[in-house]
Amino acid sequence: MKINKITSIYFSPNGTTKKIVNKIAHEIGNYDIQEINLNLVENRMMEHNFKSDDLVVIGFPVYADRLPELSKEIFKNIKGNDTPVVAIVSYGNREYGDALLELKDNLMHVGMKVISGAAIIAEHCFNKNVAANRPDEKDDLQIFDYINKLKYKINKTNSINSLPELYVKGNYPYNPLKTHQVPTGDEKCILCGLCAENCPVNAINESNFRLTDGDLCIGCGSCINVCPTGSRAIRNEEFIAFIKNLEIIASQRKEIEVFI
Ligand SMILES: Cc1cc2nc3c(=O)[nH]c(=O)nc-3n(C[C@H](O)[C@H](O)[C@H](O)COP(=O)(O)O)c2cc1C
Ligand code: SF4
Ligand code: SF4
């Protein structure tokens, strides 16, 4: 497979998917790297065209066993041309459900050839005790092993069209989409504006950072994680109990799963 350039492309409100995708893109070889951060509205709105000698590494976090719903708007603007692509999902050690399958299906639909996929565990963005500090050193070793397998596949494949369709885990119909929680601020707000700056969908009211537009918010947790005073939070008791309970139901360490 002839590769001219690598593009790392990710949606990553809390930054973990970005780190994973960039690590893979940078370690595959000595190629020019382009980075597309889909947290930015302008990058989601822009059309991204890829050629057959581009290699794309694309990653999304898993939201309730699926891709984030806003990936639908993203895929409308991605166009491949038999472009080889590595599909990555990151998840908080519970389950990744149908997200990797959904990512593969979307990529095929826009003209990409999925040469490999992986589900990689990342610290849970709603509970730092779940998959704390992951990917960690053990994960890194497995990620490097995966990168070597990727390099081998890229080198030994003459024609991308000779590759059979990649199998990845997941089921049809996909898990139904779930409603998400909407965080708000309280009196601890010191008006620093970090939450609004980091919100990927501009859902936070710039003249009152305590307020959130529930129609825009995708429940990504970024505003909660960047807030320096703990002002922004989800205030639903059932949700708070669910997130605490993840320390029990997601306590057993899962390992990276790769499909190649
Ligand atoms: C709305 C939402 C739903 C999530 N659902 C799942 C899930 O189904 N399974 C899981 O293991 N982790 C789940 N997580 C955790 C994220 O997948 C994980 O923290 C991810 O690495 C965040 O990526 P980021 O750092 O790039 O934003 C969810 C997180 C959010 C915000
Ligand atoms: S990040 Fe927290 S403290 Fe800063 S404006 Fe937002 S709610 Fe207020
Ligand atoms: S307001 Fe919603 S979409 Fe914006 S950062 Fe907070 S959780 Fe994410």
Nearest by Cα to 52 from 96, 109, 113: 113
Cβ neighbour number for residue 131 with a 10 Å cutoff:
26
SS3 category, 5: strand
> Ligand 2 atom 8: the closest Cα is on which residue?
189
Mean pLDDT of 200-223: 97
- Closest ligand 3 atom to residue 195 Cα is 5
Query: Within 13 Å, how many C-alpha atoms sit on residue 182's CB side?
Result: 12
SS3 category, 55: strand
Amino acid at 133: N
pLDDT band at 165 (very low <50, low <70, confident <90, very high): very high
DSSP state of 94: S
Residue 119's pLDDT is: 98
Residue ranges covered by each domain of the chain: 5-173+253-259, 194-235
DSSP state of 164: P
Residue 103's pLDDT is: 98
DSSP state of 161: G
**Whole-angstrom Cα distance, residue 219 to residue 82?**
34
Residue 127's pLDDT is: 98
pLDDT digits (tens, 9 = 90+) for 78-127: 999 999 999 999 999 999 999 999 999 999 999 999 999 999 999 999 99
Mean pLDDT of 121-143: 98
187, 189, 224: which to mutate for ligand 2, most atoms within 8 A of CB? 189
pLDDT band at 134 (very low <50, low <70, confident <90, very high): very high
Topology classification of domain 194-235:
Alpha-Beta Plaits (3.30.70)
pLDDT digits (tens, 9 = 90+) for 142-153: 999 999 999 999
> Ligand 2 atom 6: the closest Cα is on which residue?
195
**Whole-angstrom Cα distance, residue 256 to residue 135?**
9
Amino acid at 38: L
CATH for 5-173+253-259 is 3.40.50.360
**Whole-angstrom Cα distance, residue 40 to residue 58?**
15
| CA 196 to each of CA 15, 40, 203, 204, 253: distance values in angstroms, whole numbers, following the listed order | 16, 12, 7, 5, 34
213, 220, 232, 243: which to mutate for ligand 3, most atoms within 8 A of CB? 220
- Closest ligand 1 atom to residue 66 Cα is 8
Cβ neighbours of residue 101 closer than 8 Å, sequence gap 6 or more: 168, 169, 170, 171, 172, 174
- Closest ligand 1 atom to residue 222 Cα is 27
**In sequence order, which ranges of the chain are alpha helices (DSSP H)?**
16-27, 41-45, 71-75, 99-109, 137-156, 194-198, 222-226, 237-249
| CA 49 to each of CA 39, 76, 80, 163: distance values in angstroms, whole numbers, following the listed order | 18, 11, 6, 22
SS3 category, 202: coil
